[in-house]
Amino acid sequence: MTSPVDALGARAAALDAEHAGSDLRHLFDLPEGVYLAGNSLGALPRAVPVRLEAVMREQWGAEAVSAWNTRGWWHVPRRVGDRIGALVGAGAGQVVAGDSTSVALFQVFRAAARLRPGRRTVVTDPGSFPTDLYVLQGVAADVGWQVVLAEPHEVPAALDAHGEDVALLALSHVDYRTGELWDLEGLTAAAREVGALAAWDLCHSVGAVPVQLDEAGVDLAVGCTYKYLNGGPGSPAFTYVARRHHDAFEPAVRGWHGHAQPFAMRREHEPAPGIDRVRIGTPPLLSMLALEAALEVFDAVPIEVVRERSLSLTSFLLDCLDALVPEVELVTPRAPGRRGSQVSVRHAEAFGIVRALAARGVVGDYREPGIARFGIAAPYVTHSDVLATATELRRVLDTGEHLADVEAEGPVT
């Protein structure tokens, strides 16, 4: 009689064969074991060290300051922005890369207040990533907004209740804890019905889920690049401003790279035309060029194919957990259309589970309260990896390894 593990193993092999065309592991230097923390920090694309070596020796080393012109360094934020824009359904000239997600959030929130003067309400999800909430709270205090908390399914009612007083709807496309994918198009339309702007955090969807910012009528968006875009630790964020808002977008932080004539060195700020007005100061060029190299992964496979592979992987992980570890509580939606690219489970000893799995070579991460996350970076995760994760989780629970008194290795969980 075939065991459940054997049956799942046969399925994993068949699914890996079916999706062989989108298996891009050869483009990455992967850690040993199973790496399921790509929703926190993506793996290293092999093109990145090669590109950085060339940049340091041939550009910075050989050409030094001349490389701003000869190598087009000045235009990298726009160049990288357009590459990201292609992944999020944004036409050219609407995305710029640089700064951090926190800075990008501050810029778009403050600009939203100026774009909707006289309105005094902002609606956001209380389950948003803490940075989003912190930045929004600060901006609200500065501009006199009241913050209305509403989970995404409550947003239409909240918008109806506050009507034309709503300046901004600020949401995340994917819930960072549960992996739930929210209705970007529908909620953006609901904001537009009351004349509000819609700003989206794409940190947990860009590079994993197709996004259609232009088509959906989104006004503003930000996202990080070190998760599914594999840009490296601390790689720069990006900002999307719909073209229709360019002339009226007023950045709160006004740096010289966002000036219409930066090298005129004028005392008064004059915003650059188009998306360049979002730029602030000198970008971290090495990180920007590393990110540009990392984005070449997506030249090998369309984002729609990445999504197809991701859904197959997450669906199979759900099946493996059902069959082998039914006692864990699934918090990620089962419906494919409501799922990002991670599977999260809740358990009283979730932190211990994550640490015990890491000791067995399966790397996920932990988030309060009591959630173990398994991020599926589809280009380099296989169905066999997914089965190994569930199998090792079964062994951890059976042996009680998750109950050991394990301290965190450091502040990052």
Q: Does 345 map to a domain? A: yes
**Position 313 in a domain:** yes
- Whether 410 maps to a domain, the answer reads no
45 belongs to a structural domain: no
Annotated catalytic residue, options 28, 35, 106, 226: 226
Is residue 323 domain-resident?
A: yes
373 is catalytic: yes
Q: 179 and 86: one domain? A: yes
Q: Which of 280, 299, 318 is the last residue of a domain?
A: 299
Q: What is the mean pLDDT of residues 67-77?
A: 97
* Residue numbers of the domain that contains 384: 4-30+301-403
Q: Are residues 245 and 137 in the same domain?
A: yes
Q: Report yes or no on 37 lying in a domain.
A: no
Residues 123 and 254 in one domain: yes
For the chain, what is the domain count? 2
Of 23, 82, 201, 219, which is the active-site residue?
201
Domain boundary among 239, 267, 299: 299
Asked if 323 and 271 sit in the same domain, the reply is no
For residue 228, is it within any domain? yes
Q: What is the mean pLDDT of the chain?
A: 96
Q: Which of 299, 330, 363 is the last residue of a domain?
A: 299
Mean pLDDT to the nearest integer, 384-413? 89
- Are 56 and 167 contained in the same domain? yes
Do 120 and 69 fall into the same domain?
Answer: yes
Same-domain status, 264 and 153: yes
Identify the CATH number of the domain in which residue 373 sits: 3.90.1150.10
Predicted local confidence at residue 411, as pLDDT: 83
Q: Are residues 112 and 196 in the same domain?
A: yes
Exactly one of 83, 110, 116, 227 is catalytic; which is it? 227
Label residue 410 by pLDDT band (50, 70, 90): confident
169 and 257: one domain? yes
Residues 19 and 54 in one domain: no
* Whole-number pLDDT of residue 229: 98
**CATH classification at residue 182:** 3.40.640.10
In this predicted model, what pLDDT tens digit does every residue of 94-119 receive, in sequence order? 999 999 999 999 999 999 999 999 99
* Whether residue 228 lies in the annotated active site: no
30: phi then psi, degrees, rounded to nearest 5: -100, 145
In-domain check, residue 56: yes
Q: Would residue 51 show up in a list of annotated catalytic residues for this protein?
A: no
Q: Clarify whether 201 is annotated catalytic.
A: yes
pLDDT in tens, 8-53: 999 999 999 999 999 999 999 999 999 999 999 999 999 999 999 9
Residue from 373, 380, 385, 394 carrying the catalytic annotation:
373
Confidence of residue 2 (pLDDT cuts 50, 70, 90): confident
User: Is residue 46 flagged as an active site residue?
Assistant: no
- Choose, from 28, 106, 109, 129, the residue flagged as catalytic: 129
Clarify whether residues 277 and 138 are in a common domain. Answer: yes
Q: Are both 155 and 56 inside the same structural domain? A: yes
